[in-house]
Amino acid sequence: MWNEVISENKVQVEALRKTGPDIELTILMPCLNEARTLPACIAKAHGFLNSSGIRGEVLVADNGSSDGSQTLAAACGARVVSVPVRGYGAALIAGIAAAKGRYVVMGDADESYDFGALESFVAELRLGSQLVMGNRFRGAILPGAMPPLHRYLGNPVLSFVGRLFFKSPIGDFHCGLRGFERQAILQLGLCCEGMEFASEMVVKASLSHLRIAEVPTTLSPDGRDRPPHLRTWRDGWRHLRFLLLFTPRWLFLYPGAALALLGLAQLVLAHFHADGWGRWPVGIHTQLLASAGMVLGYQTMLFAMGAVLARHCAHLNTIHPRDRWALYVASGSLLPAGGGIATLAGLALCASLTWQWGSSGFGALDPEAAMRQIIPGVALLLMGTQSVLASIFFAALRSAFDSRRPAATGQTSGS
């Protein structure tokens, strides 16, 4: 159903483009039961277009309002597109597809942003910026406009994580007032239907090296007489989850590598200092925990590779340069070759202990000496077999991707 809605909107837009005048700016408002505040927002948007002499339109992407917002928006002079798929992101994706302007400025229809003061957004877009973000912390946050939890914890923390993970210059990741070049954003393939759409746009724009700017923005208390659609903990978690899943290096690779290296270091230390190394524990119990940590860390690194490849295959897009390591390892012989060597080494250690046991008439062995040999042997055996199996699974993913790519390319070229 979602693809049908987008396709229908694209057809309507192309028809309008052929018959109507060029439009520079679309002011886009997602809407779900905003009858109380929608007229004022539309009036300010029309006022801005008239006073600035910009050829533009006001577009309302209605997400299934039951309070008459659709009729009210049309009566106020806005164009309305109905979006049956629920969600903040779903409404905006459909709205961006239906927009007729070269540029789009989007913002909530609850009077928290002033649609009559968009001069700085348009100026930056005309100067060549492809995404212009409002920054409420550089502008103003009026009393009662943002809960303290959002202002001092949620937004700063999530914005910091976004800057750290994706090298983004954005200081306010979740400002709802933002402008962009429509074609540049369409090429990002945005697909998140919920509130995390706000993060997805900034993340993909940063990874695609779009020209990004920020302008100070004022956030006012909204004019709703009901609770906001945003749910603090649920939507905060969805934003954080998206940021983590979109950067498997930070979620899986780096923690896994650290754990595996720590486990390996402890095993090496226990091997060369069997009689003790100061007060540092080097006994078989510590060795067992170290081997478990090494195996778990290595498995987590394999998860990182699988996450990159799965996302690549699911979206039929190019792997980001910082994640190309996953493609190189998965498509080469390093993983199966290394896995085979580790498996043989583990089997050799286990077989050697078995031979020693047989040589003693299958009697009692020295527990300390036996465990120091069997623990690394089992660890190598597990990591080796994991490598071989992972290489087979990754090859299956690549094969599935290659089989889909020609069809997807054909569809794209023919549209």
Residue by residue, pLDDT tens for the chain (415 residues) are 444 444 544 444 444 344 344 789 999 999 999 999 999 999 999 999 999 999 999 999 999 999 999 999 999 999 999 999 988 999 999 999 999 999 999 999 999 999 999 999 999 999 999 999 999 999 999 998 887 877 777 678 878 887 777 778 888 888 989 999 999 999 988 888 888 888 889 888 988 889 999 999 999 987 676 555 565 656 667 667 777 777 777 778 889 999 999 999 988 888 777 666 777 777 788 888 899 999 999 999 888 888 777 766 655 454 555 666 776 777 778 888 888 898 999 899 888 888 877 777 777 777 777 888 888 889 999 999 999 988 888 887 777 666 655 444 444 333 3
Q: Which of 316-322's residues contact partners 24+ apart within 8 Å by CB, and which partners?
A: 316/401, 316/404, 316/405, 316/408, 317/189, 320/207, 322/249
DSSP 13-40: HHHHHHHSPPEEEEEEEEESS-TTTHHH
Alpha-carbon Rg for the chain, nearest whole angstrom, is 28
pTM for the structure as a whole: 0.67
Q: What residues contact residue 234 under an 8 Å CB cut-off, 6+ apart?
A: none
| 218 φ, ψ (degrees, to nearest 5) | -100, 130
Report strand pairing: 56-62 vs 79-82.
parallel
Give the C-alpha separation, 272 to 179, whole Å: 61
Query: Are the C-beta atoms of residues 11 and 98 closer than 8 Å to each other?
Result: no
Within 10 angstroms of residue 85's Cβ, the number of other Cβ atoms is 16
